[in-house]
Amino acid sequence: MRIIWRLFGLLKSYWKWVVLSYFLLILSTGFQLLVPDFLRRAIDFGVPRDPVTRQFTVQTSLLIYWGAGIVIVSLLRAVTAFGQTYISEFIGQKVAFDLRNRLYDRIQRLSFAFHDKAQTGQLMSRATQDVEAVRFFVAMGFMRTIYIATMFFGILGILVSMNWSLALVTLICLPPVAFVAVKMGTKLRPIWMRIQQEMALMTIVLQENLSGVRVVKAFSRAKRESDKFDVEVRKLYDDGLASARIQAFAGPMMTFLFTATSGLILWWGGRELVNGNLTAGQLTQFLFYVTMMIMPIRMLSWMVNLLSRGISSGERIFEILDQQSAVKEKPNATTLTNAKGTVKFDHIYFTYAMNPYESVGNILEDISFEARPGQMIALLGATGSGKTTLVNLIPRFYDVTSGKITIDGVDIRDATLSSLRRNIGMVQQDVFLFSATIRDNIAYGAVDASMDDIIEAAKAAQFHEFVVSMPDGYDTWVGERGITLSGGQRQRLAIARTLLLDPRILILDDSTSSVDTETEFLLQKALRELMKGRTTFVIAQRLQTVKDADLILVLNKGKIAERGLHRQLLQEGRIYPEIYELQLRAQEEALGKGVLP
């Protein structure tokens, strides 16, 4: 009931349309209930029986009159039913529209901590399949509930008023019908929960396979991936058949129970007709109403199915909507404007919380240092030492566990997220590009940027010459995830996209790892000019970046093991000389021999 009430709450914004829909539904039902009464009148008055001769006579004018009445009432019912159906679908589409936007907005606002654990396929399934199931439930379930109740109790009231004993015979089938409906709902709900979950798992397999299709082909794993997909589809197939089997049994069974009662009605109604308690028209009217009562009974099985699916889907949707971001903006947060770029880490500790009761231990431990405008801070360390995590704390992709990070003396938790991130430009290690033009991708964070600004950013990133060499230049279409560009081209585009923001703080997460040494040399030259007056954090494996750094931080198991300048660390350090020997000496020797620019 908690889920049902929350789903019902989605209609609050459209209560006027709901009222209009119910009004039209009641009118439509009322017109429908008039037809059997008009039919009775047509039989009893249009074809009366002489009480003396017991012969039937035809009153043509009355037959035409009541026949025309049936046509008019049917037309009115058709018009009101059309309006009700259209408005119900309008409400359902509006609710689906709102739900999809709320889901998308919630997913966008959740921190990295949520997305580290969430599966893309699961989120896609909830925003598509589950929302669609809720739409059906709202449009058909909520709206049709009144119809079923009005039809059933309206007809029941008419039957009782016509002949209570015959109405009692009709009610014999109700207990078994109710039992079948309840039993069906009990069985269907867990099945539909599994079906929705299996759809999500199938989407995950499909999404991963399509994203990694080149890896699949490279390792000749197409058969294995097909088998994996077949397993998920077969589960969905089996549960879909189980659901269909229950519905295929329950619907006809309820109809049979109600239709079988017609035999009893004919037997008892015939006795009442002979005894003079019913006219031929009334018996016909009674049977017509009983036939009409079958429709809401059949719809009851359909409604139970919609209810089961709607509750299961609603539960999955609300699970996302109820998620709280680990990174929250304070109600009185201030706007960070005209930042100079002094960044200070003050005894920072950070841990990934797997759930409220469990964590994976400290990823960063007692990190303290200060970066001033114009300085370049180089971060080195083995994989998993915490380099990327450290820079992800600056724009609050995660929040520190303890300690604080300040920009120009302001705790970043006291600033609005949008103003904080406007002052930070970031080129991440995993470059993501959208299916759009090169120009759109460069201007992604500055949509109002002029073409001249876009070109200047591309030139600074050593990307312009490549772009103009393309037939469509800056209007060249970039494939999904930038698949039509090489790794180095994607990184240069990402650098141009960041530089166009003109941020006071730059974060380059191994941003030159996929470019050749000549391009890196040109990039470093351009970046040195652009870094003037800016605070820059660089995660790099290249010698030139390290040698130019104003401060080198060597991380080891989440701690700052060593800090200083290149030559100082070579002489005094313990870990840094090892990194130098493994990663940097070969580059320095190549530079000395003139092999590298």
Place of tokens 């589409």: 93
DSSP symbol at 14: G
Which residue is it, tokens 């303290």?
Answer: 368
List, in order of start, the domains of the chain with CATH numbers. 2-321 (1.20.1560.10)
The residue to which tokens 């009851």 are assigned: 300
pLDDT of residue 460: 81
B/e letters for 522-551, b = 16+ CB within 10 Å, e = fewer, are: ebbeebeebbeebbbbbbbebbbbbbbbeb
CB atoms within 10 A of CB 593: 8
Q: Which residues contact 328 (CB under 8 A, 6 or more apart)?
A: none
Which residues of the chain fall short of a pLDDT of 70?
47-56, 58, 173, 178, 181-182, 185, 208, 210-215, 217-220, 251, 294, 297-298, 300-302, 353-361, 429, 480-482, 510-530, 541-544, 583-597
Predicted local confidence at residue 594, as pLDDT:
45
Spell out the SS3 assignment of 96-113. Answer: HHHHHHHHHHHHHHCCHH
Predicted pLDDT at 136? 81
What is the rounded CA–CA span in Å between residue 433 and residue 490?
A: 8
Q: Which residues, other chains included, contact 44 with Cβ-Cβ below 8 Å and sequence gap of 6+?
A: 279, 280, 281, 282
pLDDT of residue 3: 80
What is the structure's pLDDT at 180? 74
CB within 8 Å of 535: residues ≥ 6 apart: 341, 342, 343, 371, 372, 373, 374, 375, 377, 504, 505, 506
In angstroms, what CA-CA distances link 392 with 339, 506, 508? 18, 12, 11
- Distance between CA 95 and CA 104 in Å, rounded? 14
Phi-psi category of 16—alpha, beta or left, where left has phi over 0 and alpha has psi -120 to 50?
A: alpha
What local confidence, expressed as pLDDT, does residue 211 receive? Answer: 66
pLDDT at 343: 92
In terms of residues, how long is the chain? 597
Report pLDDT for 517: 62
Q: Which tokens belong to 306?
A: 């919609």
| pLDDT of the residue at 593 | 46
Predicted local distance difference test score (pLDDT) of residue 356: 44
Give the pairing type, strands 559-564 and 402-407: unpaired
Please list the alpha-helical segments (H only) found in 372-449. Answer: 387-393, 417-422, 438-442
Residue 301 has a pLDDT of 65
Q: CA-to-CA distance for 270 and 345, rounded, in angstroms?
A: 93
Q: Looking at residue 382, what is its pLDDT? A: 80
Q: What pLDDT is stored for residue 185 in this prediction? A: 67
| Contact present, 214 and 481 (Cβ < 8 Å) | no
The confidence score (pLDDT) of residue 595 equals 41
